[in-house]
Structure 1
């Protein structure tokens, strides 16, 4: 019996895809940058089937590529071009296993989408705070494997801070059941943190127990034109000084970013009457009604306008208006995708260093590549910027994209000088794998390779990614 025969017997012929038209959607990443080849795409129905598939592949030395909603941005869930691997897609693991509102916890399988986790939490009177533009299609296994961030990290933290426990199929096919819904468990090494952000290189996450929170009872959302990134940082500090953790999100958006959305996204409207070079999208939330967040924000904004930090702004008067403001932010990536290929950077620096990074990077890039278009936006509240570069003209862009390595070095070297990271929330995947030796110490790389060798000595779990 061949491997494909074994896989068909394990998951059923309808869920072992080998036809080119059937496998195609699973073999190209969301950005269209990477297209791989696989022996098959297998869609197991539960953890036991995932374990059996892994055991079958390992027995014959076949690499395994774990995959969720295939919304990753660094090629981490795309097989290599050698055609040796089997893609194990987790989208059929769809159960919400348990919701425990008294313990503020929910246990879900890897194929449940982020939007479905949010809905299940809402149905229990709770909040699951992770929020991403791709939340309707990204899946729990993927967001854990990339340690996804999103817009509410400022208050609730990255995915890592939201995970209580995991269930993982290890590279030899054993199942580690670490689905503990505990806030305190001091019984040795906390293995779950090895799998969070490992991009499927140490095992396949099949289920997770996640933290829930009280639902906010009031929300205030504002779109503000600011004098520049330094003014935005100052405004953030002021707002946190008066509102503390009620500042849930604080997004920085450049005018070129908004212009792309207005150009490519139907029904998008500029919230303010005249263009400004920089904006922030601010959201404050609270579970209490005794504090008037709207009045608090208005008072502080009046002072910020008087001090020259804020030039103009609008506060959403309804949930629909707030949603429209958020769509402007969330559609920047989609608008850029429609505009064409760009050189993308997902970087982080200390919040206080954001203005310096933006100023110095722009100067350096314009010196090397005059006329470069910079589309900068992101989560200023936690120091994470999406810093994307292209030529304004499609005719000139192909030559510019061919210089991705040189362009990236300008950006990443500056990030490194400022004590930052070349990957804030998207991961390493294939895109940044070869950059790690430049920005990670020898000791860090040795530790990472040692952990990889311990868990996956044959190197069959998502090869060619991260390391």
Structure 2
């Protein structure tokens, strides 16, 4: 179907001229909303709606519901699974929430903040810091990713080990439902045992059940002090054992525990400006360990205890501790630079998977064998969050091979990973959602009863199927 001109006229009247960008009048502005930031998912739309308030969103959703026109909610458009990109039919409208940037309330005593969906993650972090508090969710795209987007995908990041995912940091939501009704669930309560926890229906739903327009989130005590170490280990089993030692000696101060393969670090050293290897020799795997708190000296002592205990157990091949902010930044570059430099190795296949922490060594060993059997020499650019069992198991073509080799074997390579993840009781998507990229895979690898329950919820809340169709279910 096509989007009726009368609907666009009604939307323009309701939202104002700044609230509707049409492809006919503003093709360049619209173009950025129909492709994801990696260029992997591309669609089309006749218009981008740009509401400035919850009332605007409600009006836009109601008008589209009445006209039978589908909406694709979009925030910073930094997703990796195509969840915020329209399809290629030209019959879906993009609902961009980037104009809704109000910080409605910050309560340092109660430990909460209420912000609109278009506030960036960094903007929320800054609002918390302004009153001496911390919003702990941190992502590489935090300067662009919006609160609505990280809620819709239940984002994780590097602090999940200590703070949990976005779901764990959410106290309340304001949501526009598929028929245009507004549910005001912006409660900052830590205890509310009055039935179903409705907010959790919308966190991680990727806009398929409604449009999140605002959220009340938890704030925590600030942690200005850091103690950071870059540790070389022999294998993933040693990294998992090191995690247990860190938890034993650092308790609640342990904030980050990241693992990175040598293949991944090598790319960073070759292509990231300013990157350097703190060790004189290469090692198969590395772990970034960071403690956070209020007193630098105390954290430094605890980190030293961790490294000494780990060394006594034969877990550490080498280690370096950051002596100041500049060294800390240099160590973090070795981890955070991976996603930025993988393009230098050619096209890539990205896999965001999770298994029980104890199963990580088995996952890496099994997938190494399986992937090599499918495509000898395939480069495994592996890194992730050992503390929550999440690996980014990304693949690049063999050195010197044409790009087409990876593309031609893509399905078999992905199946090799997902088969092992499923065998080990894991998930094919740890923190990036399903979007359109993994929706059908979820039917293959997911529990059929669980998938049908999701479809039942979708049909109940969005019987016309107009909210971000083709995503998740």
TM range (shorter): over 0.9
* TM-score, normalisation: structure 2: 0.96
Normalised by the length of structure 1, the TM-score is 0.97
**Deviation string for 1:364-385 (max 9, x for gaps)?**
1112211111011000110000
Q: Does 1:80 align with 2:87?
A: yes
Shift of 1:445: 1.4
How far, CA to CA, are the matches of 1:432 and 1:405 in structure 2? 12
Distance of 1:321 and 1:172 partners within structure 2: 53
The alpha-carbon deviation at position 329 of structure 1 amounts to 1.5
Q: Secondary structure at the match of 2:138?
A: coil
Single out whichever of 15-24 and 409-418 deviates more from structure 2.
Answer: 15-24
* 2:383 and 2:393 in contact (8 A); partners too: yes
Partner of 2:286: helix, strand, or coil?
strand
Residue matched to 2:253? 246
The structural deviation recorded for 1:439 is 1.6
Measured after TM superposition, the shift of residue 288 of structure 1 is 5.4
1:11 aligns with 15
Residue number in structure 1 paired with 2:309: 303
Give, in angstroms, the shift of residue 12 of structure 1.
2.2
1:105 equivalent among 109, 112, 132: 112
Aligned residues: 466
Indicate the residue corresponding to 2:430 in structure 1. Answer: 424
Task: Quote the residue 1:322 is aligned against.
Answer: 328
Whole-angstrom distance in 1 between the partners of 2:8 and 2:161: 46
Aligned-partner Cα distance in 1 for 2:80–2:430: 12
Gaps of 5+ in 2: none
Q: 1:334 aligns with which of 340, 365, 371?
A: 340
Given that 2:249 and 2:305 are in contact with CA atoms closer than 8 Å, whether structure 1 keeps it comes out as: no
Give the deviation of 1:307 after TM superposition: 3.2
Identify the residue that residue 207 of structure 2 maps to in structure 1.
200
Alpha carbons 2:377, 2:399 under 8 Å: kept:
no
Aligned match of 2:285: 278
**Which stretch shifts more, 426-435 or 330-339?**
330-339
Deviates more, 1:207-216 or 1:397-406: 397-406
For the 8 Å contact 1:340–1:394, the answer to whether it is kept is no
How large is the RMSD of aligned CA atoms in angstroms?
A: 1.4
Which residue does the alignment assign to 1:118? 125
Q: Which moved more, 1:249-258 or 1:266-275?
A: 266-275
Match of 2:32 among 4, 21, 25: 25
Q: In structure 2, what is the Cα distance between the partners aligned to 1:144 and 1:394? A: 41
**1:176 counterpart = 2:183:** yes
Q: Deviations over 1:306-329 (max 9, x none)?
A: 433111111111122212222321
Over 6 Å off, 4+ runs: none
Contact 2:227 2:300 in 1 (8 A): yes
1:359 matched residue in structure 2: 365
Q: 1:340, 1:16 → 2: CA distance?
A: 38
Unmatched 5+ residue regions in structure 1? none
CA distance in structure 2 between the partners assigned to 1:337 and 1:204 by the alignment = 33
Contact 2:346–2:397 under 8 Å retained in 1: no
Q: Tell me the equivalent position of 1:237.
A: 244
Q: Deviations over 1:289-345 (max 9, x none)?
A: 7x7221222233133234331111111111222122223212211111354321111
Structure 1, 142-151 or 328-337: larger mean CA deviation:
328-337
- Contact 2:374–2:409 (CA under 8 A) maintained in structure 1: no
Match of 1:410 among 392, 412, 416: 416
Q: Which residue of the other structure, out of 159, 163, 167, is the alignment partner of 1:156?
A: 163
